[in-house]
Chains A and B, each alone.
Chain A
Amino acid sequence: MADALLFEFLLTEMVAELWPQDPDPARGGRKMNLSVLEGMGCHVGQALGERLPQEMLAFREELDALKFLCKDLWVAVFQKQMDSLCPSHQWSLSMASGLQYLDEAPKFLAFTCGGPRGTLSTLGIESLVTASVAALCACKFQAVIQKSQGPLGHPQLSLTTASGPHPLQVNSRCFGPETLATAFGGGLRARAGHRMLKKWV
């Protein structure tokens, strides 16, 4: 059976490989790559949801599904429990922070947001999952349940930076297994509904 560390390393390399190395300031290019990563996470989440035994997925309410996602599935994937789940469908996770990885956080958050969205879609719940880092050591995920009929459009994972530009040049290939944890820190915010990338460091 695959060790959990393999997934961490694979995600790190995957983000490094699929992210453009040249410092292209074009907003469209970066946004597209975020969508690619989020889409991959969504497909994986869907496939993972389909693999779960049916009796495990007998939820009567959306809140039950989210509780399962946060308490059981999240622990299985990341070996860490969520700190809290709010009735507004937000859940938060405290992890070690690394300010120097501020610029790199969106890449790793994109795939992680796609996963829950895919799993929820398997449960018949269309959602939009975004991540925000409001405080230095915490990452907050928000799942917005789509109530309207019809297919959910491809979510726009837009990001804004909360602070000024950082001149550090960080090679993501130098990251060790702590990358996932440290990348969640920093002052990056991700808001649902924004169509344009407001600021990109």
Chain B
Amino acid sequence: MSRSARRKPEYHKINRDLFVLTYGALVAQLCKDYEKDEDVNKYLDKMGYGIGTRLVEDFLARSCVGRCHSYSEITDIIAQVAFKMYLGITPSVSCNNSSRNEFSLILDKNPLVEFVEELPAGRSSLCYCNLLCGIIRGALEMVHLAADVTFLQDRLKGDSVTEIGITFLKKLDEKKYRRKK
């Protein structure tokens, strides 16, 4: 039997690959099921929303983040804690308006597209990583924050960077905000 010199697999790498590959299979299946890119984007967002509503509980339990007092703080936590914890990347954050309720997450690296060279032909409007937008939106909603989350730029579409825009829809009321337990 061949036993010598065979090393154990790296579990974290396999976990990461499994998630990325499964996500790719899912997007491929949705592209087969739906002709319009808008429908695929919609379902990816919807699924991400479902994931986000559950993931936020795990995140809050594991990260033990304190109470946030501004949208800027919340966005920083999403970028520096949540993305780091689950995807191993730290997007940079920028504020897009003077009201300080519109922010951008710039992703230098995106593990979800590791095995994607380009979008399929005829799928120029596909937001391949739209699951991430749904996850952020679902997670924020579970802590009583309504937000629009969309891809503003996408390297897969030929843009120079991948940018996720978060627009907080309701003014944060410090008295009403409670960290979801």
Binding site for B on A (CB under 8 A): 1-7, 9-14, 16-18, 36, 40, 43-44, 47-48, 51-53, 55-56, 58-61, 64, 72-73, 75-77, 173, 176-177
With A48-B14, A73-B14, A77-B15 known to touch, is A17 a contact of B86 (CB < 8 Å)? no
Nearest neighbor of A14 in chain B, beta-carbon distance: B26
Which candidate, B1-9, B119-127, B162-170, is the interface stretch facing chain A?
B1-9
How many B residues have CB within 8 A of the partner chain?
A: 41
Contact between B16 and A60 (Cβ–Cβ < 8 Å)? no
Contact between B9 and A56 (Cβ–Cβ < 8 Å)? yes
Contact between A77 and B18 (Cβ–Cβ < 8 Å)? yes
List 13 other contacts, CB 8 Å, given A6-B87, A44-B25, A52-B9: A1-B15, A1-B111, A2-B87, A9-B50, A10-B19, A10-B26, A13-B47, A43-B21, A55-B7, A56-B6, A61-B1, A64-B1, A64-B2
The interface residues of chain A lying within 8 Å CB-to-CB of B51 are: 6, 9-10, 13
The interface residues of chain A lying within 8 Å CB-to-CB of B9 are: 52, 56, 72-73, 76
Contact between A58 and B2 (Cβ–Cβ < 8 Å)? yes
Closest beta carbon of chain A to B36's beta carbon, Å = 16
Binding site for A on B (CB under 8 A): 1-2, 5-23, 25-26, 29, 33, 43, 46-48, 50-51, 54-55, 58, 85-88, 111, 115, 131
With A6-B86, A64-B1 known to touch, is A18 a contact of B29 (CB < 8 Å)? yes
With A3-B86, A7-B19, A10-B26 known to touch, is A60 a contact of B6 (CB < 8 Å)? no
